[in-house]
């Protein structure tokens, strides 16, 4: 209840002023209310201590609302006379009504341009176009739309069959490449907001939607988070169309499908589900789409928001691979996975992802299989070193020293003389320092972070040891750990290990080597129980798939990888033939070669 | 994939089945191996081991035959329908209790081994507790999760252990002893085989696990299990030879856990961890944890089948409760000597009785009640595999 | 659903309780006294023994981590704690009472026993050592003449601690004339196997360190005698342990060096009489001949003579061993493996052992004539 309404009777004297405006015939209740409010405003101007802003807001809102109501009413009455079953959501064919409706809804915002004009010169047909300034290409609207329409000569036909006017315009007037037809307001507004230009023609219920989308976008740059030595240097940008283009360039087959889904009531973000028909398991595509459409959120800003809904447990481990590299997405698609792209996010998601996927990079496929295998094994080693070294140190130096060689035991004991803390505290101190340094280095500007690194190195390297807070062996161990954990080519994969690290440390503290092994079993059991869209996370190790092992911790030569991953259950399992056909030798060349051989003999 | 079953159980592959069955034995007996065989038969103990393997082969064949009667149900759920309810009930109870005691014996044994070597100051119940906790977690993800964990963890450790076992052959001192024993003292060999049989006791979990194999892979699963048994026997024979040629028969009979002792004398010069063999012993944790997890899994499934419980929640509750009960009951066993007595006096007879008794009772009865069996078979599957 | 959350919480709590009930075995190495060597001596009062636990001093430990390999200027790098008692455990308790840190046996690398130790005491000590779980049976065992404590007090400029000295000595085949290193488990195997007696290398301290070229022979737990260096090398040849044994032949003014090779023992029973045959195949390097006197015939003569000499020495040694009724060569053990029935007839192998007929076949093959001239 509006609080000031009670005071209304007091200001009866001012009523005549309102009466002056009452010459307009339709006196809607909204108008009346608004006028009352205006009066109150004027009155209240003289009263101090009242926040007039609120009242002004209310007046504007009421104004807008009444206008919108009016436009709607008009639209409805117009429409009803033409086609009886039209609803409020559909365009009636009256350009004026459309103008009012647009003006009263989105037209309030300065970036929305609504323009009335006439088609043709001799017989003029009223028309209306609307677009978002900045999202649509001005040249296209000027030259390919407005100019052409205004100078159109065959307007007569338009007037004769107004219901097919859009067809004529579409076929023979506008020269915009992509044009569609839409009747529903709810869809039109979203199209408009996406950068399209919508054209209303008097008497025609169908509205032309011209694709004039052109907005500022970041150039295609080299990938920042997944660098490759020899691979292609193209990363996605924020524009989904560019993302699709980049993939389309790599997979030209017509079987590549991009299925659009809109997610987010507020943001109406375009999400594209990409898959290759005839390769990807259709059940998987269906499941992904069903999962996506069931997502009810107001705003979808980042693709990662989706990845949480796409993996079904609260596991630490990422189950959806997020990448900015177009080549990785294309590769995954060709392998039979599904890619999900989200407008305004340069990171596409590919799924289902298995554990080993997070240890594969572009470089693995651009280098020789020897190098690739070596690098992958180094990553595995890095993982083990990073995850286990500090816990092994704790276990071996405090719980099970009998496992170490005597000389090493003496060295460790020597480096620990005078250190007041047990090894676990050393680890905690050092790891805290490392994490703080890391976090600070990410947030700081580049120039400062270098300085920070140096300072950190000095502090960690010398001062802490000098102060006898940690032993010097510990420095070596923690440095290796910090490096080892980040050998995972995908950043997300380093995170679970950084957390599980503590779990193993605690286990090692209490139960030594036995504790470490138990902790590893628990982690393994967890990984084995994970499944993403029916694909076991630990495959090809979990359910042992010997054929898939060819592209796991070692990579076999391409020639041997005849089949796609079994776990993806693709429609066509083969991806290449084992023995490529030998090209037919040119007879002449063959002869020459033969002679050449004869020479040698 | 099969959709024509009435209630589809989560399925595992043939290789996973073989891994689970294999992890269901070895773990308990491996620690005593080959002391009993040698103390009874001397060098001819090798024949005890081989004999045990052959007997297991035969028994396994019979057990699979029983499982094939109604391939889509566990023994505990179909036995009452064939044998009448009270007999089925007794059989189910026997199965459950037996699994439970076997698990107790295994975890306490490992608790003693670890406590003795690595954690002398830690109470045994803590070691057992954390081991059982891990085993329960392994089983938490259900049949498929457990099978995958075993495949990705158990198999590599078994391979590593066998490789280390081969490395121990560097310790061989008396190559003369590698020659196969020429004597066949029948009674001592049989006695040795009987006492050594603890190593193979435990594969009866096949009766519970069988319905979980994918229908089309049943034959293959059986084949893989036989192959795995063959590999196990081969490894045991090799290890036996290495051990006897390293220590000589007289010393082995003095050792409480001979294989552990063998591993402990294996050291690698110039490596981070000096006593590499000892590290391998620590890695055996996964073998024991796998054994316990498989047993807890069986326990849970048999209990659920007996009381007709269904659903993941019931599974988790029964699993957690049996894990907890396992920890509590393991405190009853005071020392390693008692544990060994338990094995020799109760577990071997009871296990052998079960392994021989089940086929002996079920197969003839099933023959006489062919109609009932046929009805049961077709109830869950249109084309069940042949029994023979 | 709610139950699930609860059940998870309870499992986690239970897990935590397991973990948080204490930190039983957790003790950093610098809070332990790492016993690297242990010496067992008879105590003054009969039926008791004195056990010496030797470990590096903290300063030696710190120095070693900083990489200074040289000894710490006159100051001893090791300290020893002594305990006396009727059992090993009692001695251990007494020693533990004298130090502030945990006396830790997991890193024991060297076990020194005095040859004065009475059989009953030695047996008691060995049985106790066997049942210590953290102590795996890999330490080397050596015998000290008279006092183990004194032997452990001797320092060597080559290694900071006696145990490290023996690790590097016995761990390296080519560092010794005969591979005499005996690990504790090997000793135990010999103790527990019928038909074989243990032998233990003797470490004699001298001013620069230790001399390891003799072995002590035991009949079970009874100390019998100590072989002199020549006898020890002969023993090494018979056991196939010889590595750098050399033999000077005055007749040719030449040396046969680097005698190395396996020895195979076989037993036979002929008319109730046990025959033991040692087949020794040695390779060697010939040294000291000048090139014009180096003929094929001469080499074969030398080889023949070396074989004869060595075979004679071997036979003499075995005779002596038979006379002393000690069987470190394991003739009885081999008999028990090859002819178990015959062996099981003997109630006491030691009564039969002196009667065994021993044959030694020794072949020296000169494979290397040196690179001189």
The region of weakest confidence among A53-62, A287-296, A349-358, A499-508 is A53-62
| Within-domain flag for A542 | no
Inter-chain touch B123–C24, beta carbons under 8 Å:
yes
Closest listed residue to residue C95, CA positions, set C112, C77, C80, C82: C82
What SS3 state is found at C84? strand
**Buried/exposed C19-57: b ≥16 CB within 10 Å, e otherwise:** beeebbbbbbbbebbbbbbbbbbbbeeeeebbbbbbbbb
| Within-domain flag for C285 | yes
Q: Do residue C238 and residue C220 come from a single domain?
A: no
Q: Do residue C183 and residue C98 come from a single domain?
A: yes
Last residue of a domain, one of A353, A383, A413: A353
> How far, in Å, CA of B117 to CA of B257, rounded?
11
Inter-chain touch B265–C14, beta carbons under 8 Å:
no
Last residue of a domain, one of C205, C226, C247: C226
* Strongest mean pLDDT among A68-72, A165-169, C317-321: C317-321
Residue A497 vs residues A485, B154, B340: alpha-carbon distances, Å: 7, 22, 41
Residue A135 vs residues A114, A209, A346, C141: alpha-carbon distances, Å: 14, 14, 19, 88
Bridge partners (DSSP) listed for residue A235: A325
Please tell me the predicted confidence (pLDDT) of residue C72: 44
| Within-domain flag for C11 | no
CATH at residue C249: 3.30.300.210
**Residue C58 contacts A where some CB pair is shorter than 8 Å:** yes
| Within-domain flag for A381 | yes
Q: Do residue C221 and residue C232 come from a single domain?
A: no
Q: How confident is the model at residue A601 (pLDDT cuts 50, 70, 90)?
A: very low
Last residue of a domain, one of A194, A210, A226: A210
| Within-domain flag for A553 | no
Q: Do residue A380 and residue A463 come from a single domain?
A: yes
The region of weakest confidence among A15-29, B277-291, C116-130, C336-350 is A15-29
Answer yes or no: are the C-beta atoms of B20 and B294 closer than 8 Å.
yes
Q: Do residue A258 and residue A324 come from a single domain?
A: yes
Q: How confident is the model at residue A51 (pLDDT cuts 50, 70, 90)?
A: low
Range of the domain at C113: 28-58+76-226
Give the residue numbers in B contacting A (CB under 8 Å), as ranges. Answer: 13, 15-16, 114, 118-119, 122, 126-127, 130-131, 133-134, 137-138, 140-142, 144-149, 151-153, 155, 270-275, 278-279, 282-283, 285-286, 289
How do strand C222-226 and strand C245-249 relate by DSSP bridges? unpaired
Q: Locate the DSSP E strands across A290-431.
A: 321-323, 338-342, 348-351
Q: Do residue A74 and residue A100 come from a single domain?
A: no
Closest listed residue to residue C145, CA positions, set C205, C197, C186: C205
Q: Do residue A282 and residue A206 come from a single domain?
A: no
**Residue C18 contacts B where some CB pair is shorter than 8 Å:** yes
**Number of A:C CB contacts under 8 A?**
79
Q: What would the mean pLDDT of C46-70 be, rounded to a whole number?
A: 76
The crossing angle, in degrees rounded to 10, of helices B285-306 and B14-23 is: 100
Please tell me the predicted confidence (pLDDT) of residue A12: 46
Count of domains for chain A? 4
| Within-domain flag for C191 | yes
Q: Do residue A440 and residue A497 come from a single domain?
A: yes
The mean pLDDT of chain A is 82
| Within-domain flag for C68 | no
Last residue of a domain, one of C172, C199, C226: C226
Inter-chain touch A529–B140, beta carbons under 8 Å:
yes
Please tell me the predicted confidence (pLDDT) of residue C69: 46
**Under the phi-then-psi rule, with left for phi > 0, alpha for psi from -120 to 50, and beta for the rest, what region is A571?**
alpha
| Within-domain flag for C357 | yes
Inter-chain touch C24–B275, beta carbons under 8 Å:
no
In order of their start, the domains of chain B are: 14-358 (1.20.1740.10)
Q: Do residue A406 and residue A488 come from a single domain?
A: yes
Tokens of A209: 């939607």
Q: Do residue C329 and residue C348 come from a single domain?
A: yes
The phi, psi pair for C79, rounded to 5°, reads -135, 155
Inter-chain touch A406–C36, beta carbons under 8 Å:
yes
The angle formed by the CA atoms of residues A149, A153 and A157, to the nearest 5 degrees, is 95
Please tell me the predicted confidence (pLDDT) of residue C64: 65
Q: Do residue C318 and residue C222 come from a single domain?
A: no
Answer yes or no: are the C-beta atoms of B242 and B263 closer than 8 Å.
no
CA distance A537 to chain B (A): 10
The region of weakest confidence among A510-524, B163-177, B342-356, C223-237 is B163-177
Q: Do residue C259 and residue C353 come from a single domain?
A: yes
Last residue of a domain, one of C162, C192, C226: C226
| Within-domain flag for A191 | yes
Q: Do residue C220 and residue C256 come from a single domain?
A: no
Last residue of a domain, one of A503, A536, A569: A536
Please tell me the predicted confidence (pLDDT) of residue B231: 92
Q: Do residue A513 and residue A376 come from a single domain?
A: yes
Range of the domain at A113: 95-210
The closest CB to that of A524, out of B133, B152, B279, belongs to B152
pLDDT value at C308 more than 80: yes
| Within-domain flag for A373 | yes
Inter-chain touch B148–A512, beta carbons under 8 Å:
no
> Exposed, middle or buried, C350 (CB in 10 Å: 0-12/13-18/19+)?
middle
Q: What would the mean pLDDT of B13-22 be, rounded to a whole number?
A: 91
The closest CB to that of C25, out of B119, B261, B313, belongs to B119
pLDDT digits (tens, 9 = 90+) for A212-254: 888 777 888 888 888 888 888 889 988 888 888 889 888 888 8
**Under the phi-then-psi rule, with left for phi > 0, alpha for psi from -120 to 50, and beta for the rest, what region is A10?**
alpha
> How far, in Å, CA of C88 to CA of C48, rounded?
9
Q: Locate the DSSP E strands across A41-159.
A: 112-119, 125-132
Q: Do residue A376 and residue A504 come from a single domain?
A: yes
| Within-domain flag for A501 | yes
Count of domains for chain C? 2
pLDDT digits (tens, 9 = 90+) for A402-422: 888 888 888 888 888 888 888
- Provide the 8-state DSSP code for C289: -
| Within-domain flag for C17 | no
- Provide the 8-state DSSP code for A320: S
ipTM above 0.90, yes or no: yes
Q: How confident is the model at residue C71 (pLDDT cuts 50, 70, 90)?
A: very low
**Buried/exposed A110-127: b ≥16 CB within 10 Å, e otherwise:** eebbbeebebbeeeebbb
> How far, in Å, CA of B130 to CA of C15, rounded?
7
| Within-domain flag for A526 | yes
pLDDT value at B85 more than 90: no
Q: Do residue A323 and residue A389 come from a single domain?
A: no
| Within-domain flag for A110 | yes
Helix ranges, B118-257 (H): 124-140, 142-149, 155-167, 186-196, 206-209, 218-247, 249-252
The closest CB to that of B118, out of A404, A513, A528, belongs to A513
Q: Do residue A204 and residue A333 come from a single domain?
A: no
C-alpha of B219 from chain center: 21
Q: Do residue C81 and residue C135 come from a single domain?
A: yes
Q: Do residue C219 and residue C242 come from a single domain?
A: no
| Within-domain flag for C12 | no
How do strand A197-201 and strand A125-132 relate by DSSP bridges? antiparallel
Inter-chain touch C18–B126, beta carbons under 8 Å:
yes
| Within-domain flag for C8 | no
Q: Do residue C241 and residue C210 come from a single domain?
A: no
pLDDT digits (tens, 9 = 90+) for A437-471: 888 877 778 777 777 777 777 777 778 778 888 88
> Among all residues of chain A, which has the CA nearest to that of B144?
A529
The closest CB to that of B247, out of C25, C133, C189, belongs to C189
The closest CB to that of A522, out of B126, B127, B137, belongs to B137
Residue B345 has, within 13 A of its CA and on its CB side, a CA count of 6
Please tell me the predicted confidence (pLDDT) of residue A38: 78
Q: How confident is the model at residue B335 (pLDDT cuts 50, 70, 90)?
A: confident
Q: Do residue A328 and residue A264 come from a single domain?
A: yes
Q: Do residue A202 and residue A111 come from a single domain?
A: yes
> How far, in Å, CA of A284 to CA of A356, rounded?
20
> How far, in Å, CA of B99 to CA of B203, rounded?
11
């Amino acid at each position: 209840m509006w609080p000031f309404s009670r005071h209304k009777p007091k200001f009866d004297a001012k009523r005549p002023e309102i009466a002056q405006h009452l010459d307009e015939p339709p006196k809607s209740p909204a108008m009346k209310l608004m006028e009352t409010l205006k009066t109150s405003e004027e009155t209240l101007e003289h009263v101090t201590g009242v926040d007039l802003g609120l009242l002004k807001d209310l007046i504007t809102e009421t104004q807008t609302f009444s206008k919108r109501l009016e436009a709607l009413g008009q639209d409805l009455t117009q429409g009803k006379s033409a086609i009886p079953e039209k609803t409020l959501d559909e365009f009636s064919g009256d350009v004026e009504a459309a103008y009012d409706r647009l003006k009263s809804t989105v037209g309030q915002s300065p970036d929305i341009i609504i323009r009335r004009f006439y088609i043709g010169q001799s017989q003029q047909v009223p028309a209306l176009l609307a677009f978002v300034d900045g999202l649509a290409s001005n040249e296209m609207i000027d030259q390919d739309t407005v100019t052409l329409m205004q100078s159109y000569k065959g307007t007569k036909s338009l007037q004769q069959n107004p219901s097919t006017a859009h067809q004529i315009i579409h076929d023979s007037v506008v020269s915009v490449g992509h044009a569609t037809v839409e009747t529903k307001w709810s869809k039109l507004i979203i199209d408009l907001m996406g950068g399209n230009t919508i054209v209303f023609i008097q008497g025609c219920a169908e509205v032309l939607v011209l694709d004039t989308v052109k907005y500022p976008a970041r150039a295609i740059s080299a990938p920042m988070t997944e660098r490759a030595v020899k691979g292609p240097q193209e990363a996605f940008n924020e524009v989904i169309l560019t993302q699709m283009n980049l993939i389309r360039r790599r997979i030209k087959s017509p079987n590549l499908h991009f299925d659009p889904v809109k997610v987010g009531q507020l943001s109406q973000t375009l999400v594209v589900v990409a898959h290759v028909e005839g390769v990807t398991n259709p059940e998987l595509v269906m499941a992904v789409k069903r999962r996506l459409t069931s997502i009810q959120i107001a705003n979808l800003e980042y693709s990662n928001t989706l990845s949480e809904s796409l993996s079904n447990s609260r596991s630490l481990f990422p189950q959806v691979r997020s990448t900015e590299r177009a080549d990785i997405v294309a590769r995954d698609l060709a392998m039979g996975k599904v890619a999900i792209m989200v407008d305004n996010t340069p990171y596409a998601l590919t799924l289902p992802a298995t554990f080993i996927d997070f240890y594969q990079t572009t470089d693995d496929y651009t280098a020789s299989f020897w190098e690739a295998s070596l690098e992958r094994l180094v990553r595995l080693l890095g993982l083990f070193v990073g995850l286990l070294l500090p816990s092994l140190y704790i276990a071996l130096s405090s719980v099970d020293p009998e496992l170490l060689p005597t000389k090493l035991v003496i060295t460790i004991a020597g480096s620990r003389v005078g250190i007041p803390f047990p090894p676990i505290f050393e680890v905690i101190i050092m790891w805290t320092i490392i994490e703080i340094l890391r976090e600070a280095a990410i947030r700081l500007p580049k120039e400062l972070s270098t300085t920070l690194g140096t300072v950190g190195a000095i502090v960690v390297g010398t001062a802490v040891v000098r102060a006898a807070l940690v032993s010097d062996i510990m420095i070596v161990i923690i440095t290796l750990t910090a490096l080892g954990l980040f050998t995972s080519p995908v950043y997300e994969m380093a995170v679970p290990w950084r957390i599980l690290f503590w779990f193993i440390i605690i286990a090692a503290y209490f139960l030594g080597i036995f504790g470490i092994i138990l902790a590893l079993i628990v982690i393994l059991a967890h990984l084995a129980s994970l499944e993403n869209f029916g694909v076991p996370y630990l495959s090809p190790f979990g359910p042992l798939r010997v054929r898939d092992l060819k592209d796991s911790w070692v990579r076999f030569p391409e020639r041997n990888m005849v089949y796609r991953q079994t776990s993806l259950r693709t429609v066509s399992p083969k991806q290449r033939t084992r023995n490529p056909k030998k090209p037919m030798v040119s007879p002449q060349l063959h002869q020459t070669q033969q002679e050449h051989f004869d020479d040698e003999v | 994939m099969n959709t024509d079953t009435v209630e589809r159980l989560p399925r595992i592959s043939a290789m996973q089945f073989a891994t689970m069955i294999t992890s269901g034995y070895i773990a308990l007996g491996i620690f005593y191996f080959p002391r009993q065989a040698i103390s009874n038969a001397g060098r001819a103990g090798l024949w005890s081991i081989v004999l045990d393997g052959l007997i297991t082969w035969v028994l396994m064949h019979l057990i699979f035959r029983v499982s094939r009667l109604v391939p889509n149900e566990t023994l505990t759920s179909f036995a009452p329908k064939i044998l009448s309810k009270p007999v089925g009930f007794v059989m189910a109870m026997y199965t459950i209790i037996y699994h439970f005691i076997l698990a107790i014996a295994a975890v306490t044994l490992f608790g003693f081994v670890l406590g003795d070597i690595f954690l002398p100051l830690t109470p045994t119940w803590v070691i057992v507790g954390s081991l059982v906790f891990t085993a329960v977690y392994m089983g938490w993800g259900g049949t498929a999760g457990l099978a995958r964990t075993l495949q990705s963890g158990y198999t590599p450790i078994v391979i590593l252990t066998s490789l280390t076992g081969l490395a121990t052959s560097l310790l061989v001192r008396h190559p003369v002893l590698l020659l196969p024993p020429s004597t066949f003292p029948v009674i001592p060999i049989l006695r040795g085989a009987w006492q050594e049989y603890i190593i193979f006791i435990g594969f009866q979990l096949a009766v519970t696990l069988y319905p979980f194999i994918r229908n089309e892979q049943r034959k293959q699963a059986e084949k893989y299990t036989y192959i795995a048994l063959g590999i196990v026997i081969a490894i045991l024979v090799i290890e036996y030879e290495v051990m006897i040629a390293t220590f000589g028969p007289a010393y082995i009979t003095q050792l409480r856990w001979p294989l552990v002792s063998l591993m402990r004398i294996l050291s690698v010069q110039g490596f981070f961890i000096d006593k590499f063999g000892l590290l391998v012993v620590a890695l055996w944790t996964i073998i024991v944890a796998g054994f316990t997890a498989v047993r807890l899994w069986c326990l849970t499934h048999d209990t659920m089948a007996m009381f007709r419980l269904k659903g993941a929640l019931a599974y988790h509750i029964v699993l957690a409760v049996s894990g907890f009960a396992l920890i509590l009951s393991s405190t009853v066993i005071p020392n390693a000597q008692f544990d060994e007595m338990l094995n020799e006096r109760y577990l071997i007879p009871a296990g052998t009785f079960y392994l021989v008794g089940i086929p002996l009772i079920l197969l003839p009865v099933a023959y006489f009640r062919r109609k009932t069996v046929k009805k049961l078979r077709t109830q869950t599957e249109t084309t069940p595999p042949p029994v023979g | 659903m709610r139950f699930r959350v609860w059940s998870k919480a309870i499992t986690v709590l239970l897990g935590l309780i397991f973990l948080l009930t204490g930190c039983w075995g957790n003790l950093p190495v610098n809070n332990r006294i790492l016993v690297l060597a242990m010496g067992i001596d008879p105590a003054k009062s009969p039926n008791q023994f004195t056990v010496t636990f030797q470990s590096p001093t903290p300063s030696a430990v710190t120095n070693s981590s900083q990489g200074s390999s040289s000894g710490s200027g006159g100051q001893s790098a090791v300290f020893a704690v002594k305990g006396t008692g009727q059992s090993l455990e009692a001695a251990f308790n007494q020693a533990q009472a004298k130090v502030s840190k945990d006396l830790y046996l997991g890193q024991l690398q060297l076990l020194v026993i005095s040859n004065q130790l009475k059989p009953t005491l030695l047996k008691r000590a060995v049985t106790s050592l066997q049942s210590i779980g953290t102590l795996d049976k890999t330490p080397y065992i050596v015998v000290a003449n008279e006092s183990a404590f004194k032997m452990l007090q001797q320092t060597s400029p080559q290694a900071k601690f006696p145990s490290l000295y023996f690790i590097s000595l016995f761990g390296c085949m080519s560092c010794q004339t005969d591979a005499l290193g005996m690990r504790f488990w090997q000793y135990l195997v010999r103790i527990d196997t019928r038909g074989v007696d243990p032998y233990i290398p003797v470490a004699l301290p001298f001013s620069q360190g230790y001399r390891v070229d003799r072995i002590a022979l035991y009949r079970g737990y009874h100390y019998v005698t100590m072989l002199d260096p020549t006898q020890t090398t002969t023993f090494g040849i018979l056991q196939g342990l010889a590595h750098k044994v050399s033999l000077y032949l005055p007749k040719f003014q030449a040396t046969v060096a680097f005698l190395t090779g396996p020895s195979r023992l076989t037993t036979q029973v002929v008319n109730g009489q046990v025959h033991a045959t040692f087949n020794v195949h040695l390779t060697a390097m010939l040294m000291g001949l000048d090139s014009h006197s180096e003929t094929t015939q001469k080499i074969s003569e030398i080889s023949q003579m070396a074989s004869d000499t060595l075979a004679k020495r071997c036979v003499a040694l075995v005779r002596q061993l038979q006379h002393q009724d000690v069987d470190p060569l394991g003739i009885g053990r081999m008999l028990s493996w090859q002819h178990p029935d015959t062996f099981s007839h003997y109630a006491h192998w030691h009564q039969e052992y002196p009667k065994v007929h021993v044959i030694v076949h020794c072949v020296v093959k000169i494979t290397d004539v040196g690179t001189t001239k």
